[in-house]
Structure 1
Amino acid sequence: MNLYNDSERFISILSDYGFKVTFGNETDTRFLRRALQALIQSPVAIAKVEFIESEIPGLTKDSRSGIYDIACVDETGNQFIVEMQLSKYPDFIQRMKFYSFYRLNTLIRKGRYKFEGLPKIYCIGILAANIFPHITDYQNVAVLRNDKGELIDEQTVFITVELAKFRKRLANVHTDLDKLIYTMKTTHRTTKPRQFPQFWNEEWLEAAINELDTRQMTPEKRMAYEMTLAANALAVQNEQRKIEEARQEENLAVKAQTVLRALKLGKLTIEEIAEYSGVSTDYVLEIQRSPNKAA
């Protein structure tokens, strides 16, 4: 999935930059508010959202820390955590539980360990890949129920959207949730106005699409976009370098073991061992002097 392509008019919402200027746009929350309303399937419009601290500090030296992609609260106090996941992550639900339980713990501590009147926590995961192979629906809403399906508690709600399972044609896109998912999946592949669906004229979607339109970028936004591209490219290079270094270390370890076994057999000369193992004679002599290096 190529999320950054200079030949495309629109930047993908799924990219770091696209997600930040749409869902994470603190100066214009029209898109975020309507998207959240669609994701939680609420008939009540969200009038206001306020971004809150997204970093989870480790409470002890050995505690796990983390950073939400987005954390915000609406005018009624409802808490929202939004996570975007592009790569396969089988344990994604465990991460969502960790994030939501931390928010719950924070709310309880602020309320002096009182449990009444707690706001809802919506933990929302938007995933490019599937994590529920046994479930066909592209959206799932989970609360605490008993084995008969009867509701026990809905203070914490887990919502997942698996984009790969959404296959609706444009003619069948009617709800705000479907409009949101369709837009997320197709915007960066759209270049000509005649390809724009009619609902892209709706205020909330138009606000987001304008942020993704490379033709409407100010010099400041262009610079921010280019910096994101550079940071992502550097991150990829660093990962590739780490992989290559690991391969080289693994290869060297295999060669060291080969040299050590040949030395222990005592049937080959130093030169023969070096040639057979693909190393220098100095390296063979080093292993001979310090065999523990090959252990």
Structure 2
Amino acid sequence: MGTEGIQDKYVNPYTDFGFKLLFGTAMNKELLISFLNALLFGEETVKDVTYMNTEHLGTQEYDRRAIFDVYCENEKGEKFLVEMQRGEQQFFKDRSLYYSTFPIREQGKRGPWDYELKAVYVIGILNFSFDDTDNEHFHHEVKLVDLHTHKVFYDKLAFIYLEMPKFSKREDELETMFDKWLFVLRNLSSLFERPRALQNRVFDRLFETAEIARFSRKELSEYWESLKNFRDWYSVMKTQLKKGREEGRKEGREEGREEGREEGREEERMRNARNLKELGVSSEIIAQATGLSEEEIKAL
């Protein structure tokens, strides 16, 4: 496979190949550890991770809305399920909840067991927005909360969602590692030079790993196929969105014309009712002739 059409310098992390390259391989697990620690804002320090089997989690592409999973546990046995979701699904929250049941049930033990569980984190990197009521808030951390006391009821299950389209910080606005990681995920494939704000050992590793020119022939072939799938999916979704907008405008125009016709018919009924009323016709007969109520006729 040649390099025709590939003009980006760095890999696209929203592709299956790119996401797994950066976060799904033991060789690059320091990138995943750094990302998890940045995401948790230092509340939990992940020192090491062990990759777990994702076969039963359904990692295949589905309807070109691929969710690429990384499933791992840290040195304390806490579970992390990281999902890259590039296309909106109607029941993506249900899917997250469903996925969380696997790391929970896997902790069950045979024989005597007191049901103590390790924490489970489900992390969704979303290439879409699910909350249109707030155009700025993009980092959601969801836990079980007592609605009466507003206190966390159970702190071992957390759903963390990142609405990437809402992240708009520029390079000169990056302050924390959290900011820097989101900037990388949002902009990596469009960068031609490494930003000055991303000068440390972890990002040394990331940019070295992500540079397409360093790929072997096999890696380049796999990436090109993955990128093609991503572009095909993007084209289909963009076409469907455009078609939906056009249909919406068409329906709006039809509704507008129908509303106009209905208003015209209503004005005609009112005008006829007035004329009949001036001729001394009874309200009962006018109501039968125009469809207006006797109350409406009396008010004329």
What is the TM-score when the length of structure 2 is the normalising length?
0.67
Alignment correspondent of 1:39 = 39
CA distance in 2 between partners of 1:27 and 1:211 (Å): 10
Equivalent residue, structure 2, for 1:149: 150
1:162 counterpart residue number: 163
Residues matched between the structures, number? 224
Aligned residue type for 1:209: F
Aligned residue for 2:72, secondary structure, equals: strand
Alpha-carbon distance, 1:112 to partner: 5.4
**Shift of residue 44, structure 1, vs aligned partner:** 4.7
SS of 1:70's partner is strand
| 2:52 paired with 1:52 | yes
Matches of 1:92 and 1:155 in 2, distance apart?
A: 21
Distance of aligned partners of 1:215 and 1:104 in 2 relative to their CA distance in 1, 3 Å threshold: same
Gaps of 5+ in 2: 59-66, 241-300
Task: Flag structure 1 segments of 5+ consecutive residues without an equivalent.
Answer: 59-66, 244-295
Question: Structure 1 residues 210, 172: closer, same or farther in 2, change over 3 A?
Answer: same
Letter in 1 for 2:223: Y
1:127 to 1:188, Cα distance in 2 relative to 1, 3 A: same
Shift of 1:206: 2.3
**Residue among 190, 205, 230 paired with 1:207:** 205
| 1:59-112 CA-partner distances (Å, limit 9, x unpaired) | xxxxxxxx8611001111110001111112232111110011222122134685
Superposition pairs of residues 8-19 of structure 1, within 5 angstroms: 8-19=8-19
Once residues 14 and 21 of structure 1 are traced to their aligned partners in structure 2, the CA distance between those partners, rounded to angstroms, is 11
Distance 1:68 1:84, change over 3 A: closer
RMSD: 2.9
Cα drift, residue 228 of structure 1: 3.4
Shift of the alpha carbon at 1:43? 4.5
Are the aligned partners of 1:122 and 1:159 in contact in 2 as well (CA < 8 Å)?
yes
Q: How far 1:225 moved relative to its partner? A: 2.2
Write the distance in 2 (CA, Å) between the matches of 1:134 and 1:233.
Answer: 28
Answer yes or no: is 1:129 the counterpart of 2:140.
no
Is the 8 Å Cα contact of residues 15 and 226 (structure 2) preserved in structure 1? no
Aligned counterparts of 1:111 and 1:102: Cα–Cα separation in 2: 20
Q: 1:109 to 1:75 in 2, by over 3 A?
A: same
Distance 1:176 1:98, change over 3 A: same
- 1:122-166 Cα offsets, whole Å, 9 max, x none, are 000010101122344111111111113212111111100000111
Per the alignment, in what secondary structure is the counterpart of residue 29 of structure 1?
helix
Amino acid at match of 1:102: F
Partner of 1:80: 80
- What is the one-letter code of the residue matched to 2:188? T
Looking at structure 1, the residues matched to 191 and 209 of structure 2 have their Cα atoms a distance apart, in angstroms, of: 14
Larger Rg: 2
Equivalent position amino acid for 2:52 in 1: I
Cα deviation for residue 210 of structure 1 reads 1.7
Q: Return closer, same or farther for 1:200/1:219 CA change in 2, 3 Å cut-off.
A: farther
- Asked whether the equivalents of residues 40 and 122 of structure 1 are also in contact (C-alpha less than 8 Å), the reply is no
| AA aligned opposite 1:83 | E
The runs of at least 4 consecutive aligned structure 1 residues that moved more than 4 Å come to 109-113, 233-236
2:195 to 194, 197, 218: 197
Q: CA contact under 8 A between 2:46 and 2:75: conserved in structure 1?
A: yes
Of the three residues 219, 222, 244, the one matched with 2:220 is: 222
1:17 and 1:201 mapped to 2: Cα distance? 25
CA distance in 1 between counterparts of 2:111 and 2:121 reads 19
Corresponding residue for 1:250?
A: none
SS of equivalent to 2:33:
helix
The separation in 2 between residues aligned to 1:94 and 1:35, in whole angstroms, is: 25
CA contact under 8 A between 2:72 and 2:81: conserved in structure 1?
Answer: yes
| C-alpha contact (below 8 Å) 1:9/1:190 kept by paired residues | yes
- For the 8 Å contact 1:90–1:131, the answer to whether it is kept is no
State the partner residue of 2:172. Answer: 171
